[in-house]
Amino acid sequence: MNAQRRQVIAGLAAATMAAGVPLAAFAQKKKIVLGFSQIGAESEWRTANTESIKSAAKEAGIELKFSDAQQKQENQIKAIRSFIAQRVDVIAFSPVVESGWETVLREAKAAGIPVILTDRAVNVKDDSLWVTFMGSDFLEEGRKAGRWLVEKMKDVKGDVNIVELQGTVGSAPAIDRKRGFEEIIKTDPKFKIIRSQTGDFTRAKGKEVMEAFLKAEGRKINVLYAHNDDMAIGAIQAIEEAGLKPAQDIIIISIDAVKGAFEAMMAGKLNVTVECSPLLGPQLMQAVKDLMAGKTLPKRIVTEEGIFPMEVAAKEFPNRKY
Ligand code: AHR
């Protein structure tokens, strides 16, 4: 709620209370307006995330102004400015990249509109520019992927050559998943990342970049580490087209745990996926309501997640919600 609106409401609330009308009854009349800037529709994960936010807003009776940025930061900045101009009560967004948000977040703060970060973090000096950040611990996801590989390869004596498909350049998950994974594998010098390139979190780019990796390195590749399932699924196609067996000739590790990954695991083509839950909608709507009720939110709300190797895929599949 912006400063002006808060003042008007405070005044009205005081007047209604003085007239004997309970504050709760007064508060019920106003529908909360939430402006949400989504990154795009680059992956199965993102589609599930959008669906979760839209359905949770409906369920919570919150008016949602939804904007799709098509993976461009400039579109997200435009959307946030438009939310400010429309004087929404709360702004939430999933930032496509980490840096470059200072100016627009200062504008939101000056307008008295609280900002919630969902899924991805921003890199700004002044933490008061956002209220809370809810989402996964990407660093830990990278570590989980690394730990799984170290255990899987513990008896291997020679070099383990890894190719890496990174997420969107400059995005929080790409930075942290790389860092977390490297932190673990560097404990044993046999693990070598021989190629690393962005696949922008999409299937098409994942396939394209994997084709290039295979052309350059061929059978030298022992492991593929993909920062999301979509890129891994694209890469699986490239591996098969090159006449190799995914998950056998090349061990494949990815992140998200979307249904597509479970299908790939059940078909014996993907070894493991680390969970990253997109179902942030209900949590976000609760946070919006809490904010509007004047509650203080924790600065960080971390999503609890697991890891699913191919051996448990068939058993887990019926429980998957995305
Ligand atoms: O920010 C979360 C990441 O973004 C997911 O892992 C990826 O699939 C999505 O596009």
The minimum-distance atom of ligand 1 relative to the CA of 256 is: 6
| Tokens representing residue 246 in the block | 């995914």
Q: Is the beta carbon of 277 within 6 A of some atom in ligand 1?
A: no
The minimum-distance atom of ligand 1 relative to the CA of 42 is: 10
Question: How far apart are the CA of 295 and the centre of ligand 1, in A?
Answer: 30
Q: How far, in Å, CA of 16 to CA of 30, rounded?
A: 14
Nearest CA to ligand 1 atom 3: 173
Q: Is the beta carbon of 42 within 6 A of some atom in ligand 1?
A: yes
Q: Is the beta carbon of 141 within 6 A of some atom in ligand 1?
A: no
3-state SS assignment for residue 222? coil
Q: Is the beta carbon of 44 within 6 A of some atom in ligand 1?
A: no
Question: How far apart are the CA of 226 and the centre of ligand 1, in A?
Answer: 11
The DSSP secondary structure of 147-201, one letter per residue, reads HHHHHHTTT--S-EEEEEEE-STT-HHHHHHHHHHHHHHTTSTTEEEEEEEE-TT
Question: How far apart are the CA of 67 and the centre of ligand 1, in A?
Answer: 17
Low-confidence stretches of the chain (pLDDT beneath 50): 1-26
| Domain map (residue ranges) of the chain | 31-135+278-303, 138-276
Q: Is the beta carbon of 203 within 6 A of some atom in ligand 1?
A: no
Residue in 52, 68, 119 to alter for ligand 1 test, most ligand atoms within 8 A of Cβ: 119
The minimum-distance atom of ligand 1 relative to the CA of 173 is: 1
The minimum-distance atom of ligand 1 relative to the CA of 201 is: 10
Domains 31-135+278-303 and 138-276 share a fold: yes
Confidence (pLDDT) at 30: 85
DSSP state of 224: E
Are 31 and 62 spatial neighbours (Cβ–Cβ below 8 Å)? Answer: yes
Q: Which of 281, 278, 289, 298 is nearest to 48 (CA)?
A: 278
Q: Which of 258, 232, 257, 259 is nearest to 246 (CA)?
A: 232
CATH of domain 31-135+278-303: 3.40.50.2300
Confidence (pLDDT) at 28: 53
Question: How far apart are the CA of 43 and the centre of ligand 1, in A?
Answer: 7
DSSP state of 127: G
Q: How far apart are the first and last CA of the chain?
A: 32
The minimum-distance atom of ligand 1 relative to the CA of 94 is: 1
Q: Is the beta carbon of 1 within 6 A of some atom in ligand 1?
A: no
The minimum-distance atom of ligand 1 relative to the CA of 44 is: 8
Q: Which fold has domain 138-276?
A: Rossmann fold (3.40.50)
The DSSP secondary structure of 57-85, one letter per residue, reads HHHHT-EEEEEE-TT-HHHHHHHHHHHHH
Question: How far apart are the CA of 181 and the centre of ligand 1, in A?
Answer: 16
The minimum-distance atom of ligand 1 relative to the CA of 172 is: 1
Q: Which of 221, 260, 265 is nearest to 247 (CA)?
A: 265
Question: How far apart are the CA of 121 and the centre of ligand 1, in A?
Answer: 12
Q: Which of 116, 54, 53 is nearest to 83 (CA)?
A: 116
pLDDT tens for 115-169 read 999 999 999 999 999 999 999 999 999 999 999 999 999 999 999 999 999 999 9
Confidence (pLDDT) at 238: 98
